[in-house]
Structure 1
Amino acid sequence: MTHVKNPVSGKRRAYRGTTTAAGTALVLFAAVSCGSSDSGDGTSGPIKLGAIVSLGGSSHAFGPTKIDKTVDAYFEDVNAAGGIDGRKIEYSVVDDSGTPNGAAQAARKLVGDGVVALVGGASYASCATNEGYYKQNDISAIEAIGATERCVTSSNITQVNPSPPTEFKLMLKFGSEELNLTRQCVIKTATSLSEAFRKAAPEVEAKTGDKLAFQDYSVPENQTDYTPDLLKAKSAGCQSILIAGGPQQTPAVAQQMQTQGMDDVVLLQMSGSYDTAVGKALAKFKIPMYAGSSFAPSDTSSQDMRDYTDFMAEHDLPVSSFTEGAYLSAKYTVDVLKGMDGPITAETVSKALSDMSPIKNDLAGTPFEFGASNDAIMVGKLENGVWKPVSGTWFTWK
């Protein structure tokens, strides 16, 4: 896989080995020259796929999640097994640093390099910035993790995971229906999704019949002291607090809740917290905690889960909701490519995705169909530092 730093800076590096500009040029040349020459009509040569990932640029960057490495490893295995009808996949990732300018530059680089589809992306800027450009160039994108609402609403972009606002609504619905909480509260980091969350709140209130007791969607992204909001939540009589932000915030919030004597307040969390390391970091707190999982937890039993965990172990990659999304985005793409006859171009891949039949995989609560949204999560409870599924069933908005 070719890995490129934010193209605005002009710096490039190879994904593996020496990270020099000359090394990257050599890798690019070798990747193309080792396969058959590309005729330009989509019938021969490597199948070029790409992704835009916010690997750096903020505390919520996706670099540490290994999303890009998971997709790359999947395509490497496909290539080792003979590729797609003998054609190898050539995969490139560009880091947009989470900025609109970086995302726009990244899209133009990938399309200019001849990718036929985008697979395994995770960006805070790309969907909103590039949807029009993708349409102009007949490019379809399957996002491993859709980080903004435009990843859901754009006709040529589909995300594998439930959208963050959907997960937000489902966690509050869970608190109401499964935990019988009537005074729920929200503390949300200020991001591009804040307005989408704010707009989703009335839907939750209409569904549950209860007003949210306290809401703040403007917490500075790098803030570490949540005491002012926690005191407001305590004054409002909150029975639960949904922390809608990055999982790295949660231990600090739990510590501050404990300091304020809020041990009996339920701490609800988004899917990023449904992670082994986060669970261990929260083990010392006595606060009741629940977290959503965008995909099936790794301790659920199915052949699809065994295939995923075996793959991750073989490649020494972390098991998490982030890499489940990456794995599924690659797998769905390969399934569609293998079902195609004739040339593989941006236009024919978009047509195949548009016409595809839903693909069921037990890692997800909703069969994958391009243009349709995933609207199901599982929920886990933290027990002695380990997330345990509340039930083996998917929780939906219906």
Structure 2
Amino acid sequence: MVPPNREATHMHKSRILMLAASIAVVSALAGCTSGGGGSPSESGEPATGDPIVVGALSGLTFFPEAPQAVQAVFDDYNAAGGLEGRPIEYTVYDDKTDPAASATAAQDALSSGAVALVGGSSLLDCAVNHTTWEDNGIVSIQGTGVDPYCFATPNIAPTNTGPFFDTFASLYYGSETLGFENICAVMVPDEAASKAAYEQAIAAWGDATGKELAYLDTSLVRGQASYAGNVSNLKSQDCDAIFMNEVGDAVVALLGEASNQGITLPFLVLTSCYSDQFAASAAYGGDIYLPAEWAPYGDTSIEGVEEWAQTMDAHGVPKTSFSQGGYLAAEYFIDILESIDGDITRDSFTAAAKGMSEEIPSPMAQAPYIFGDADFHQPNNTAYPVVLRAGTGTWESLGPVMEGEELGWVYTTVPAGS
């Protein structure tokens, strides 16, 4: 099933891929109060009126940067006058990467009077709470969508591509551009829906290329103490590259174990590794490739990247792919907010988001954003390959942009009845 908005997205994509368009970096969140909508304040004075309440659920242990980036944009917006003098009141609820805590955080966000959720980043928010968002008529513009429900349900539209498209893009670039014939994989399957979504992504790559994995180890668990056995098994295989879907410190730990056992094969990893912090900590003797979900953050010659970098630096927010997603989520939210005529409420914002007919471009994004009225939303299916060369500690942009629709990408779904 293809969302109704995909055709429009594809029509405009070449314009966006040239990164020639730009939109103002303004951002705010809509609140569950009765004041009027309309244009932002032109007074230049800090906003002191009736707050506009917005929330987000995030696993702050793994993804602190996305909501920090949202807050940075909102702070600037409030300082410039907010929406007709109304400031943004933004609250982030830590779901602690725990289902029970996530469900409680969702109720806290709803009780706050939030009119929308913006910039959330969590390993399980969408899986735990998507029906709660639907039942309460609230939409979520995710900064970092992770689990498959972020991409397969009607009230959530992430700014990012997510780990399943990342998997497809990593494998595709590895086999078709880099020419790896025997790609081995070590993966965390997680729960049934994510396992199925990863299987879909791998199958889509296989259908598009005629290739298959030379070896697949799905025995990983999040945060396991040692990868010695996994790496030992990899050494016994005929691999010319290794794909891994873990995040954060777990990737560094596995790379360290690979080095300990004398492996220097290229690694293909997910966008979650795309940060200066990872580049500085990943002491590995081989090259590491991944698909950036936005214009590479190190290329400040791109207008949108320069504006983002300046905002992050001014507010002390780390420059990562996660903070790019949060920044864009805030930007997109503002565009929708300022389209509303009349009262700013949860209902009016949801109606505006689902009633979108025009895409929102950004010079930093590789695809335009649209929410729209569809059963599911996957507006961003593009990737820009980058590499961390052995011994350099610096990411290098490779390009060109990869477009999922042209390569055979299949939209993420979740198992029936789940």
Return the TM-score normalized by structure 2: 0.80
Residues 169 and 402 in structure 2, CA contact (< 8 A), matched pair in contact too: no
2:115 corresponds to which residue?
Answer: 116
Distance in 1, matches of 2:210 and 2:400, equals 27
Secondary structure at the counterpart of residue 388 of structure 2 = strand
C-alpha deviation, 1:72, in angstroms = 1.3
Residues 198 and 217 in structure 1, CA contact (< 8 A), matched pair in contact too: no
| CA deviation vs aligned residue, 1:238-259 (integer Å, no higher than 9, x gap) | 1111111113123332333233
Q: 1:179 to 1:224 in 2, by over 3 A?
A: farther
Q: 1:362 to 1:224 in 2, by over 3 A?
A: farther
Distance in 1, matches of 2:321 and 2:33, equals 37
Aligned counterparts, 1:312-351, within 5 A = 312-351=312-351
1:232 corresponds to which residue?
Answer: 233
Partner AA of 2:242 in structure 1: I
The answer as to 2:266 corresponding to 1:290 is no
2:169 corresponds to which residue?
Answer: 170
| CA deviation vs aligned residue, 1:279-331 (integer Å, no higher than 9, x gap) | 1223x432122122122212222111111011111111111001000111111
2:385 corresponds to which residue?
Answer: 379
2:302 corresponds to which residue?
Answer: 302
Residues 96 and 102 in structure 1, CA contact (< 8 A), matched pair in contact too: yes
2:186 corresponds to which residue?
Answer: 187
Mean CA deviation greater in 229-238 or 178-187: 229-238
Secondary structure at the counterpart of residue 218 of structure 1 = coil
Secondary structure at the counterpart of residue 335 of structure 1 = helix
Residues 378 and 395 in structure 1, CA contact (< 8 A), matched pair in contact too: no
Secondary structure at the counterpart of residue 145 of structure 2 = coil
Aligned counterparts, 1:1-398, within 5 A = 40-43=33-36, 45-56=50-61, 61-62=62-63, 65-192=64-191, 193-263=194-264, 265-282=265-282, 284-300=283-299, 301-356=301-356, 357-370=358-371, 371-383=377-389, 384-396=392-404, 398=406
Secondary structure at the counterpart of residue 219 of structure 1 = coil
Q: Which runs of 5+ in 2 are unaligned?
A: 1-30, 37-48, 372-376, 407-418
Partner AA of 1:200 in structure 2: A
Query: Which is bigger in relative contact order (C-alpha 8 A, separation at least 6)?
Result: 2
Residues 50 and 117 in structure 1, CA contact (< 8 A), matched pair in contact too: yes
2:27 corresponds to which residue?
Answer: none
Partner AA of 1:378 in structure 2: Y
Secondary structure at the counterpart of residue 237 of structure 1 = coil
How many residues are paired up?
353
Q: Which runs of 5+ in 1 are unaligned?
A: 1-37
Secondary structure at the counterpart of residue 239 of structure 2 = coil
| CA deviation vs aligned residue, 1:80-118 (integer Å, no higher than 9, x gap) | 111112221111111111122222211112112211111
Distance in 2, matches of 1:130 and 1:298, equals 31
Secondary structure at the counterpart of residue 378 of structure 1 = strand
Mean CA deviation greater in 321-330 or 45-54: 45-54
Distance in 2, matches of 1:100 and 1:274, equals 27
Residues 182 and 213 in structure 2, CA contact (< 8 A), matched pair in contact too: yes
Secondary structure at the counterpart of residue 317 of structure 2 = coil
Secondary structure at the counterpart of residue 218 of structure 2 = strand
Residues 254 and 287 in structure 1, CA contact (< 8 A), matched pair in contact too: no
Residues 224 and 249 in structure 1, CA contact (< 8 A), matched pair in contact too: no
Residues 224 and 252 in structure 1, CA contact (< 8 A), matched pair in contact too: no
Residues 161 and 378 in structure 2, CA contact (< 8 A), matched pair in contact too: no
Over aligned residue pairs, what C-alpha RMSD do you find?
Answer: 2.0
Determine what percentage of the aligned residue pairs are the same residue: 29
Residues 294 and 364 in structure 2, CA contact (< 8 A), matched pair in contact too: yes
Residues 170 and 397 in structure 1, CA contact (< 8 A), matched pair in contact too: no
Distance in 2, matches of 1:313 and 1:101, equals 35
Partner AA of 1:41 in structure 2: S
Residues 184 and 214 in structure 2, CA contact (< 8 A), matched pair in contact too: yes
Of Structure 1 and Structure 2, the greater strand share is in 1
Distance in 2, matches of 1:226 and 1:97, equals 25
| CA deviation vs aligned residue, 1:155-175 (integer Å, no higher than 9, x gap) | 110111102111111100110
